[in-house]
Structures are given as C-alpha cells and as structure tokens.
C-alpha cells in the first residue's frame, strides 16, 4: 500500500552515494566526486527537496552571494545540484521488494532545464536505506542510469 511506503519515505535522508552507471559498459562515474554530500527531504505535505554538492569547492573572494568572477560562478554551478517541488508515489514496481515509482515535479532547480519538468525515479527502501534511480536511462555520451543512495537520519 502506498500510504505505508509514504510514511517510511517521509523524512530527512543523508546522501551516501551519487553515481552514474553505464548500461553498456557498467562503468561507474561520480558526477560530484566519490565523496559527494547531500540531503534529500520528503515532507508529509507532499514536497521534496534535493541538495547535492561536491565538497571542497573553493570559496569565493567576495561576500556577495550572487556575485563573483566568471570562474567562481562556474565552479559553484558545476559543483552543486538542487531542485524542489511536489512529489507523488505512482505505483509499486515489485511485489517482492519495497520498490515504487515516484515522480518529482521540479518547481525550482539550479539546473534551469528541469524547471517545470517531471523527474521520474524508482525508489527502493531497505530499512533506513533509500536508493533512487532514474526510471529511464539518461544519455551522457552513452546510456546511463543515475543512482542516489541515502540513509535516513538527522543531518550531521
């Protein structure tokens, strides 16, 4: 039942792994580094927020949040991904595992092309571990699946 899955999904999730896996070669890459940090939040009101970053991005010289050199601003964009909006649980993918199709409706995003889009994910819960995968392959030179693994718990 979706309500049981929803009650387990709601909360704060701390990123453990953010990777892409090539469907052809099985090669793994880490878009934000193998030590990426992040937080995903699913609220009881039906909103989600994902914040992912590469640790160690150099600090900017000035104190203005929206200003910086072209290089500083490019580094900030390259090393951070965030989006937020309503989410819905669609249907169960597997009756043998706690795996469901979930859609995120991106109302805001650091990647402007996602604004107004629906991001479909396959969500698998195993205790306090959440694994999110893209429902459909992404094409980044070759076909990839994006995989996010998080642990439920407070932010540290």
Minimal CA–CA distance to 136: which of 122, 117, 123? 122
Residue 148's pLDDT band, with cuts at 50, 70 and 90, is: confident
119 inside domain:
yes
In a domain, 63, yes or no: no
42-75 pLDDT, tens digit per residue, is 999 999 999 999 999 888 888 888 888 999 888 9
- Domain membership of residue 30 (yes or no) is yes
- pTM here is 0.88
Is 155 part of a structural domain of the chain? no
Note the pLDDT tens digit of each residue in 74-123. 899 999 999 999 999 998 888 888 899 999 999 999 999 999 999 999 99
Cβ neighbourhood burial of 84 (10 Å; 0-12, 13-18, 19+): middle
For position 100, which CATH number holds?
2.40.128
Structural domains in the chain (count): 1
């Amino acid at each position: 039942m979706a309500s049981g899955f929803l009650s387990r999904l709601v909360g704060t999730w701390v990123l453990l792994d953010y990777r892409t896996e090539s469907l052809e070669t099985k090669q793994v890459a880490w878009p934000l580094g193998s030590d990426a940090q992040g937080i995903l939040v699913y609220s009881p009101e039906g909103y989600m927020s994902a914040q992912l970053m590469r640790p160690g991005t150099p600090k900017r010289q000035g104190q203005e949040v929206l200003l910086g050199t072209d290089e500083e601003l490019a580094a900030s964009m390259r090393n951070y991904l965030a989006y937020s909006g309503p989410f819905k649980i669609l249907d169960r993918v597997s009756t043998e595992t706690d795996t469901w199709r979930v859609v995120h409706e991106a109302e805001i995003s650091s990647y402007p092309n996602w604004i107004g889009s629906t991001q479909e994910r396959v969500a698998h819960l195993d205790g306090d571990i959440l694994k999110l995968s893209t429902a459909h392959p992404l094409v980044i030179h070759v076909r990839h699946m994006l995989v996010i693994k998080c642990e439920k718990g407070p932010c540290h």
